[in-house]
């Protein structure tokens, strides 16, 4: 019994747990649900299904949160812009989810953040005040806990007190209101770990290349009965049988539906959004900003030690795998931020840039023309295009839990869903249990850490708060690594905001398989450190090599792959349009097995059938 899996940390994600999950998916009992797509929606579905007692597996073709979910604005919010579109139901639903995440499900990951909504003319005050007042009212309706503070009216002088670098002539005052922010990728990782702790089988870098189908003896057609999966780390392909396959593949939704032979299904519009990252000390301000532009909403968000500024919202027709920020995108964001900043930003102030694609349900007007992406509602839709395949698309990060519940309900059917109701509205995410007590104990914990440290100056209140914001009560697992090996207490030389122990923890418990996983998703150094974290790359690679068993050649190939991709993204940022950016981005050498840049171009992106080019699950 000593070797039983019941004695291990079932939430831990690592190469061993991944191998076990793939083996059980292939050779174990048939799954009730196979989730395709490891973004926030897919991760939420896996958790919802697992906590209902279902046998569930989840596969993701890239790293966890590898596509849309890690490139968001990092906001958990109701969406003021959707009130302008009269999506009151969507806003109310999202605000309810914001409250759950803030105070119950993930208080370690989600934290309040105040915003200013500047007023440019006096007559805007009653109009904007009514909208933000409705926003607050919807948030407080049926609130079971003390919610965020209500809006405040600010004069021009009060705006400058809270945001000294706001241009004095750029407003006649503002409203201050509250929303919340989150590390989006860490939310996804936490959802996957929580699902795994509840029995879900989880494997990243495992892609669906086909769907398994069988004739339906009662209908003229075929049922989906599972998927053909390729392990990208080994190249091995194998079938996974499941009663229902749920597609949470975002902008790849149509590609997966086509594998099923479905005549109908969800249509998804890809919209590109980019953000720039600026050091926190570059802009003097204690609150965020929300600004209306002619094309979208622009946020200036205080995030950890930085400002995140974005986003754009433009139709996207290039490769779905490699969206990149162009020079024109970056200039657009800077130009609109500078309209309210007293000390204008330049390209030299930008230390990081990232781009992602929003999967929006594709609307069609009566004359058959698509609607501009900025007009598209973020409400989600769930449907069954063929028996055995459930597709879900639309929605937003904040409402992932509702989306997951709806998808599993449809997969189960009305009668069975009533017997097995969702319980995720009260299922704490990994690291949430005990986090309030942990924060209360920070002074005592600092004393203890300093007393046992080889370098007590490492342990500041800021560092401990940062660690709790990343790990919650799972901080104890990171500290245990330091106790085991005191050298892991040292900060990374090239990125001192992170400890060496965090890299080891990411390899042992958070499913990192490659160097880019550590920089993109586990530390966010890809855009939160200058030059895409290059100063820390070698040290991180050395730590990962020791943990993941890489030899010197493999370690060097991982470094070469990351630096090649970084150079390609930097080249893309010097271009002026998406085709040129795509060409620059694809110059990256795919030197590491499992990190190959897949290309699905232009007209082929929704219909290519070449297995080496068109893969699903991202």
Q: How many CB atoms lie within 10 A of CB 409?
A: 20
- Least confident interval from 296-300, 397-401, 453-457: 296-300
Contact partners, residue 182, CB within 8 Å, separation at least 6 = 74, 75, 76, 101, 106, 109, 110, 111, 397
Q: Across residues 404-432, what is the average pLDDT? A: 97
Give the β-pairing of 201-204 and 56-60: parallel
Please say if the pLDDT value at position 4 is more than 70: no
Residue 358 has pLDDT above 60, yes or no: yes
Q: What is the pLDDT of residue 360?
A: 87
Query: What's phi and psi for 551, nearest 5 deg?
Result: -85, 180
pLDDT tens for residues 20-59? 999 999 999 999 999 999 999 999 999 999 999 999 999 9
C-alpha distances out from residue 40 to 22, 68, 369, 393, 618, Å: 21, 9, 30, 12, 12
Residue 607 phi, psi (nearest 5): -140, 0
Q: What is the pLDDT of residue 141?
A: 81
Contact 112, 180 (CB under 8 A): yes
Q: What is the pLDDT of residues 297-327, one digit of tens each?
A: 899 999 989 999 999 999 999 999 999 999 9
Q: Comparing 471 with 144, which gets the higher pLDDT?
A: 471
Strand partners, 348: none
The reported pLDDT for the residue numbered 5 is 45
What number is the average pLDDT over the span 476-491? 97
Longest CA–CA span in the chain (Å) reads: 74
> pTM here?
0.92
Average pLDDT of 566-576? 96
Q: Which residue has the higher pLDDT, 140 or 552?
A: 552
Residue 560 dihedral angles phi and psi, to the nearest 5°: -60, -40
303 beta partners: 306
pLDDT at residue 417 in the model: 97
Average pLDDT over residues 364-383: 57
pLDDT band at residue 81 using 50, 70 and 90 as cut-offs: confident
Q: What share of the chain is helix, strand, coil (3-state, %, to 5)?
A: 45, 20, 35
The model's pLDDT over 521-548, given as tens digits with 9 standing for 90+, comes to: 999 999 999 999 999 999 999 999 999 9
Tokens read off for 363: 């609307």
Q: Which is more confidently placed, 361 or 404?
A: 404
pLDDT band for position 363 (cuts 50, 70, 90): low
3-state secondary structure of 395: coil
Query: By the 8 A CB rule, do 504 and 464 touch?
Result: no
Query: How far is Cα of residue 77 from the mean position of the Cα atoms in its chain?
Result: 14
Whether 426 and 194 have beta carbons less than 8 Å apart is answered as no
Read off the pLDDT of residues 45-54 as tens digits, 9 standing for 90 and up. Answer: 999 999 999 9
Please tell me the predicted confidence (pLDDT) of residue 596. 42
CB 559 within 8 A of CB 316: no
Helices H / strands E in the chain, number of each: 21, 20
Residue 8 confidence class, pLDDT cut points 50, 70, 90: low
Q: Which CATH fold topology does 15-69+186-266+364-426 show?
A: FAD/NAD(P)-binding domain (3.50.50)
Separation CA 407–CA 248 (nearest Å): 9
CA 353/CA 574 separation, integer angstroms: 12
d(CA 304, CA 561): 28
* Topology given in CATH for the domain delimited by 105-182+270-360: D-Amino Acid Oxidase; Chain A, domain 2 (3.30.9)
Q: Report, in angstroms and rounded to the nearest whole number, the Rg of the chain calculated over CA atoms.
A: 24
pLDDT at 590 over 60: no
What percent of the chain clears pLDDT 70, i.e. is strictly above it?
Answer: 89
Tokens 């990171």 correspond to: 478
Q: Which of 129-138, 183-192, 544-553, 598-607 has the lowest mean pLDDT?
A: 598-607
Are the beta carbons of 566 and 532 closer than 8 angstroms?
A: yes
Domain positions in the chain: 15-69+186-266+364-426, 105-182+270-360, 435-587
**Euclidean distance between CA atoms 244 and 223, whole angstroms:** 9
pLDDT for 522 equals: 98
615 pLDDT higher than 70: no
- For residue 592, what pLDDT is reported? 47
pLDDT of residue 364: 46
pLDDT more than 90, % of the chain: 80
Q: What is the mean pLDDT of the chain?
A: 90
Q: Where are the beta strands (DSSP E) in 47-171?
A: 56-60, 75-76, 110-118, 152-154
The per-residue pLDDT for 601 is 29
CA–chain centroid gap for 441, Å, is 30
CA angle 249, 255, 256 (to 5 degrees): 60
pLDDT (mean) for 359-371: 58
Structure tokens at 188: 């996804």
Closest of 281, 344, 350, 271 to residue 309, by C-alpha: 350
Q: Report CA dihedral (128, 131, 133, 137) to the nearest 10 degrees.
A: -170
Rounded to whole angstroms, the Cα distance separating 337 from 576 reads 19
Q: What's the angle, vertex CA 398, arms to CA 395 and CA 403, rounded to 5?
A: 45
pLDDT at residue 608 greater than cutoff 50: no
Given pLDDT bands bounded at 50, 70 and 90, which one contains residue 479? very high
CA distance linking residue 205 with residue 53, whole number of Å: 25
**pLDDT for residue 294:** 80
Nearest CA to 132 out of 79, 170, 172, 207 is that of 79
- Strand 491-492 with 495-499, pairing: antiparallel
Q: Answer whether residue 73 shows pLDDT above 90.
A: yes
Query: What's the average model confidence in pLDDT over 291-300?
Result: 88
């Amino acid at each position: 019994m000593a070797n039983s899996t019941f004695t291990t940390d079932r939430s831990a994600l690592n190469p061993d747990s991944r191998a076990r999950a793939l083996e059980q998916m292939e050779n174990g009992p048939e799954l009730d649900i196979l989730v395709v797509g490891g973004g926030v929606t897919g991760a939420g579905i896996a958790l919802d299904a697992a906590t209902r007692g279902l046998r569930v597996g989840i596969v993701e073709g890239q790293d966890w949160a590898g596509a849309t979910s890690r490139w968001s604005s990092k906001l958990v919010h109701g969406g003021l812009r959707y009130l302008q579109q009269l999506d009151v139901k969507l806003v109310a639903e999202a605000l309810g989810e914001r409250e759950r995440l803030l105070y119950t499900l993930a208080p370690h990951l989600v934290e309040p953040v105040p915003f200013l909504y500047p007023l440019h003319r006096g007559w805007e005050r009653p109009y904007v005040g009514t909208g933000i007042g409705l926003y607050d009212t919807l948030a407080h309706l049926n609130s079971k806990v003390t919610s965020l503070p209500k809006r405040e009216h600010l004069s021009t002088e009060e705006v400058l007190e809270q945001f000294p670098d706001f241009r004095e002539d750029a407003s006649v005052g503002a409203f201050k209101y509250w929303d919340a922010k989150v590390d989006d990728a860490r939310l996804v990782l936490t959802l996957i770990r929580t699902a795994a702790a509840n029995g879900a089988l989880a494997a990243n870098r495992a892609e669906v290349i086909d769907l398994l189908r069988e004739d339906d003896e009662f209908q003229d057609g075929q049922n989906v009965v599972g998927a053909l999966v390729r392990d990208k780390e080994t190249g091995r392909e194998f079938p996974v049988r499941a009663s229902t396959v749920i597609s949470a593949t975002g902008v790849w939704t149509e590609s997966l539906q086509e594998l099923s032979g479905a005549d109908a299904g969800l249509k998804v519009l890809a919209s590109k959004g980019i953000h720039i990252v600026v050091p926190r000390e570059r802009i003097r301000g204690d609150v965020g900003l929300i600004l209306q532009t002619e094309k979208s909403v622009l946020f200036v968000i205080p995030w950890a030690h930085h400002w995140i500024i974005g986003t754009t919202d433009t139709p996207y027709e290039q490769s779905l795998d490699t969206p990149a920020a162009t020079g024109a995108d970056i200039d657009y964001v800077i130009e609109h931020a500078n309209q309210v900043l007293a000390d204008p930003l330049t390209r030299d102030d930008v230390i990081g840039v990232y781009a992602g694609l929003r999967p929006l349900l594709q609307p069609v007007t009566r004359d058959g023309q698509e609607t501009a992406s900025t007009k598209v509602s973020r409400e989600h839709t769930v449907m069954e295009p063929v028996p055995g395949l459930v597709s879900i698309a639309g929605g937003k990060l904040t409402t992932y839990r509702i989306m997951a519940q709806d998808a599993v309900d449809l997969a189960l059917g009305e009668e069975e869903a009533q017997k097995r109701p969702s319980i995720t509205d009260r299922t704490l995410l990994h690291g949430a249990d005990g986090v309030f007590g942990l924060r209360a104990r920070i002074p005592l914990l600092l004393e203890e850490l300093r007393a046992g440290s080889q370098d007590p100056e490492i342990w500041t209140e800021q560092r401990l708060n940062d660690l709790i914001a990343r790990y919650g009560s799972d901080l104890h697992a990171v500290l245990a690594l330091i106790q085991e090996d005191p050298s892991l207490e040292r900060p990374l030389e090239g990125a001192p905001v992170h400890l060496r122990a965090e890299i080891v923890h990411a390899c042992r418990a958070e499913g990192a398989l490659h160097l880019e996983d550590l920089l993109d998703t586990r530390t966010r150094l890809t855009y939160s450190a200058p030059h895409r974290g290059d100063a820390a790359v070698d040290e991180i690679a050395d730590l990962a090599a020791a943990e993941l068993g890489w030899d010197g050649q493999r370690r060097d190939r991982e470094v070469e792959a990351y630096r090649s991709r970084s150079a390609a993204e930097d080249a893309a940022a010097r271009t002026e349009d998406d085709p040129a950016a795509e060409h620059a981005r694809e110059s990256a050498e795919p030197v590491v097995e499992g990190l190959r840049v897949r290309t699905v171009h232009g007209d082929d992106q929704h219909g290519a059938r070449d297995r080496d080019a068109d893969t699903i699950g991202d």
